[in-house]
Amino acid sequence: MTHLKEVKTKGQLKKFVKFPFKLYKGNSCWVPPIIKDEIALFDKTKNPVFKHANARLFLALENNEIVGRIAAIINRTEINNQGLKKMRFGWFDFIDNIEVSKQLLDKVEEIGRENKLKFMEGPVGFSNLDKVGVLTEGFDHLSTMVT
């Protein structure tokens, strides 16, 4: 049975960041991020986006093994200044299992409802200046841009 665990410690954050390395191991077309940079993205003292955004990170676990991850993001600039009642999600990676992906997305939806937001959008980053999208085909080709 899969359950979600919210990332609260530096050790859990490292596991969150490193999960894709295990998931995509052996895929010669996967271009990994720089671990130090990924960790810094979620550091509230280093990333200025946290002045107007919140992020909650979750790991999906099955038998104490990570099988997925997701970031639930609220960008208050969009909500308060632009009137977009939008819940963002990103860093959405999971094993090939519809139940795992559903559980991760359901958690983001739950957070959105708790915050009276009207819709979800993703995979995206903290703002419209971050990388966006999800790869649905072309797994056998090298990326030509940040994807």
67: domain CATH number is 3.40.630.30
- pLDDT, position 144: 64
In a domain, 132, yes or no: no
- pLDDT, position 145: 59
Task: Tell me the sheet residues that pair with 43.
Answer: none
In a domain, 64, yes or no: yes
In a domain, 28, yes or no: yes
Per run of 10 residues, the mean pLDDT along the chain (length 147 residues) is 96 98 90 93 94 97 97 95 94 96 98 97 85 72 65
Q: How far is it, in rounded angstroms, from Cα 63 to Cα 48?
A: 36
- pLDDT, position 137: 77
- pLDDT, position 103: 98
Domains held by the chain: number: 1
- pLDDT, position 131: 73
Q: What's the domain range around 95?
A: 2-121
Q: In what order do the strands lie in the sheet with 53-62?
A: 2-6, 53-62, 65-75, 86-94, 119-121
In a domain, 16, yes or no: yes
Strand 65-75 and strand 53-62: pairing? antiparallel
In a domain, 29, yes or no: yes
Of 81, 63, 69, 53, give the one whose Cα is nearest residue 107: 69
- pLDDT, position 30: 83
